[in-house]
Amino acid sequence: MIAFLRRGLFALLAASLVLGFHVRPIEAQSQESSRYAAIVIDAATGEVLFARNADSRRYPASLTKMMTLYLTFEALSQGKANLNDVLTISPRAASQPPSKLGLAAGQTITLDNAMRATAVRSANDMALAIGEHIGGSEARFTNMMTMKAEQLGMTQTRYVTANGLPDARQLTSARDQAILARAIMRDFPQYYSYFGLHDWAYNGRNYRNTNGLLPTGRGYDGMKTGYTNASGYNLAASAVRDGRRLITIVLGGRSTASRNAHVAELMDTGFEVERRRAQGERIQVAQTFFEQRGFGIGGESATGDAPIAYASIREDEDGDVAGSTAVAYTAAPAPVVLPTRVAPAPSERAASQRAAATAQAAGQAAATSARAPHNVTASLNGAPASAAIAPSTTPRRATPPPAREPARAAARAPAGRWAVQVGAFRDEKVANDWLTELNRRFRTQFASAERNVQTAGDWYRSRFTGLTETAAKGACEALAERRVTCMVIGPD
């Protein structure tokens, strides 16, 4: 009897091992793939080149720090904070778990160094210290973060921590993170370089950026990594090639290595789309181009016949291997039809409406609407949603004297109708000063350009206008090489 039971037990164990060999990887992969989301956008136009689960809610992890720094940039631009401000570390900030800088309660650090620690080291203690400094408390600061997300049009995002440590209430989406990344570049290009720091030295120690794509020499110039057990491996990345900038967001990766490789593949494919279009090839739906190369699954693949390899070895952000080297595969249902552009923020729509009302009062609405049809890109760049941006004019709050603009145009005809936007500011003087500074630093690139500050609601957008397409793209590429963020604006 005992021998019979033993034989039965061994048979049961053998059967479970066989079944487990086939079933467990599928279950594990299902859990992992449920966290995956991605989006690739053109930073200049807002066109969505590829999206997968882009509007599904995910955990942001340390991508949260992008919004923490956005609000810090805003405070600096408004004069509410200074890079030399001294932050005193609170007991709450000092008690944050790693990754951290490790200052004790009562120690001090400048705001500039705290920002560098947040961007390079992804220091949780410094992100919280910044939040307390800017907002007065973390609770107040995270309310500010959520409100700003709403203003930018991040419809799936809510913040309850300043550093992204696990909290089930803190949610976002890949599309929302793309909106935020683009807003950082558009609104605060003078501070974008914090996200591209390769390393940072502090108190005799060198810290390397957690973003492993930065030193690859493929045009990557910044953004942010993130990881928690719940989120998986997240990465927001931006790169410039041939004068064009793409933004890629991947959430829910299985490891640092596989996530980085996947982002690189998405970037390469996106730039291939841009290159082929520039050569005259008609690629109307970039999503299809991506899917033909194995990214995403079409309707005919919903049965699971086409696996997607988004997996590799497990490792943390510091590169320490922590799991199996086995690669698992899975398939997923076809994605729903997604918008082909990143939606404009509600605050910008409101600003555009106010600008349109001013133009109408001055008798300019008819001429403005005649220039171009509804244009989301124009709206995102500060023009009314129903109008295109005139690159060689400078709209103002008050109606300009009617003879002034024609006189200037007669003085020197612009070489072209392309423009390069280098920033957006709350203060008109800051916007003009930034143009003056960049004109000084890049005299060769902007020798034939006009310096214009265009208004949109409460924002002043700094632009070099009157450029040819070649000159605009060449100038933006030169700026990008020096880690100055810019956008090429074509004629509408």
- 8 Å CB contact between 387 and 378: yes
pLDDT of 483 reads 65
Tokens of 23: 């079933």
- 8 Å CB contact between 61 and 226: yes
56 has catalytic annotation? no
CA distance 434 to 363: 31
Cα–chain-centroid distance for residue 375?
Answer: 21
Tell me the pLDDT tens digit for each residue of 221-233.
999 999 999 999 9
pLDDT of 259 reads 95
Q: What is the mean pLDDT of residues 51-56?
A: 96
Q: What is the mean pLDDT of residues 87-111?
A: 96
Which long-range contacts does 17-25 make (Cβ < 8 Å, 24+ apart)? Answer: 25/326, 25/328
For 242, other C-beta atoms within 10 Å of its C-beta total 11
Q: What is the mean pLDDT of residues 378-388?
A: 37
Query: Which 3 state secondary structure label does DSSP give 481?
Result: helix
pLDDT of 392 reads 36
**Range with the poorest average pLDDT among 278-282, 392-396, 415-419:** 392-396
pLDDT of 416 reads 85
Task: Say which residues have a Cβ less than 8 Å from residue 258's Cβ, sequence separation at least 6.
Answer: 233, 310, 311, 312, 313
369 has catalytic annotation? no
Query: How confident is residue 14, by pLDDT bands cut at 50, 70 and 90?
Result: very low
Tell me the pLDDT tens digit for each residue of 155-169.
999 999 999 999 999
Q: What is the mean pLDDT of residues 44-49?
A: 94
Query: How confident is residue 295, by pLDDT bands cut at 50, 70 and 90?
Result: confident
- Of the candidates 172, 134, 190, the one whose C-alpha atom is nearest the C-alpha of residue 424 is 190
pLDDT of 24 reads 31
Q: Between these two residues, 173 and 12, which has the higher pLDDT value?
A: 173
- Provide the sign of the torsion angle of the four alpha carbons 378, 381, 384, 388, taken in this order: negative
Highest mean pLDDT among 8-22, 40-54, 318-332: 40-54
pLDDT of 334 reads 34
Q: Between these two residues, 193 and 358, which has the higher pLDDT value?
A: 193
Percent of the chain exceeding pLDDT 70 equals: 69
pLDDT of 465 reads 94
**Given 33, 77, 99, 122, which residue is catalytic?**
122
80 has catalytic annotation? no
Mean pLDDT score across all residues of the chain: 77
CA distance 454 to 475: 19
CA distance 113 to 107: 13
Q: What is the mean pLDDT of residues 308-334?
A: 31
Tokens of 112: 């500039």
**Given 65, 100, 224, 473, which residue is catalytic?**
65
State pTM to two decimals.
Answer: 0.61
pLDDT of 50 reads 96
- Of the candidates 391, 412, 360, the one whose C-alpha atom is nearest the C-alpha of residue 461 is 391
Backbone angles phi, psi at 489, to 5 degrees: -110, 115
Q: Between these two residues, 314 and 14, which has the higher pLDDT value?
A: 14
pLDDT of 351 reads 52
